[in-house]
Amino acid sequence: MVALAADTPVARDRRFRGLLLRILSAAVLGPLFLAAVWFGFPWIDLVAAAAAPVMVWEWTRLTRDRPLVRISANIYALAALVALLWLRHQPVLGRETVIWIVACTWATDIGAYFVGASAGGAKLAPRISPSKTWSGLIGGMAWAAVASASLGLAFGLGSTFSLAVIGACLAVVGQVGDLAESAVKRGAGVKDSGKLIPGHGGLLDRVDGLVAILVVVAVVRLTVGGAWPWT
C-alpha cells in the first residue's frame, strides 16, 4: 500500500476523523472518570480494579520477549494505581489533588497536540515518537501551568506562581511517561498498546502521561509530607 502524503486531502480527512473520534471518546470517558474521582469510594476503587488487569495485559503484550522490562513495567503501572487510590483517599484535599493531577495531564496533552500541530519545528525525540516536537512540549508546559494555577485559584489553595511552575514541571514528567511507553511500543513494533478506546488505542495509550505524574506526585508527597502541593 502506498503511504499517503501528509498534506493530501485524504490524509487531512483521516487526521480530522481520527481527531473527532478521539474527542468523542474523551467526551464519554472523561466525565465518567472525573465522576469516580469526585465521589471517591467505591467508584474510584472500582476504576482502579478494572484498570489493573488491562494495564498488565497491555504491558505483557508489548514486552512479550523482554521479561525484565515486563516486570518493571507492571510494577510501574500498579504503583500508579496505588498512588491514585492513596492520593484520592487522603483525608485532607484528596479529591482536589487528584482533580488537579488529571487537569494538568489533560492540559499537557491538549496543549502539546495543538501547539505542536500548529507550530511544528524541531522534533523532540524523532527515534522514539516522530510526531512530538519541542514546540509541543513547550505548549504542553504552558497549558499545564495555566491549568495548575487556575485550579489553585478555584480551590482557594496554594501559591498561584508555585502551582504554575509545578504544573509546567509535571507536563515534562507526563511527556517523559508518554515517550517511555512509545519507546516500548517501538521495540515491540506496534503503534498502539491495544484497541480498547476508539481513537486512542489501548488504555496505556490514554494514561501513559497520567501514570508518570501520579507516581511522581505520590513520591514527592511521601518525601516532603503534608498536603503538597497545596501546603
Task: Give a yes or no: residue 21 inside a domain.
Answer: no
Task: Give a yes or no: residue 155 inside a domain.
Answer: yes
Alpha-carbon separation of residue 155 from 32, 132, 145 (angstroms): 21, 33, 16
State the Cα–Cα distance between residues 49 and 182, nearest whole angstrom.
25
Task: Give a yes or no: residue 16 inside a domain.
Answer: no
Task: Give a yes or no: residue 3 inside a domain.
Answer: no
Task: Give a yes or no: residue 7 inside a domain.
Answer: no
- Residue identified by cell 495509550 is 205
Task: Give a yes or no: residue 11 inside a domain.
Answer: no
132: its cell numbers? 512530538
State the Cα–Cα distance between residues 121 and 116, nearest whole angstrom.
8
Task: Give a yes or no: residue 36 inside a domain.
Answer: yes
Task: Give a yes or no: residue 83 inside a domain.
Answer: yes
Stated pTM of the model: 0.89
pLDDT tens for the chain, residues 1 to 231: 334 444 566 555 565 566 677 777 778 889 999 999 999 999 999 999 999 999 999 999 999 888 989 999 999 999 999 999 999 999 999 999 999 999 999 999 999 999 998 999 999 999 999 989 999 999 999 999 999 999 999 999 989 999 999 999 999 999 999 999 999 999 999 989 988 877 678 999 999 999 999 999 999 999 998 899 997
Domain extent, residue 177, equals: 30-224
Domain count, the chain: 1
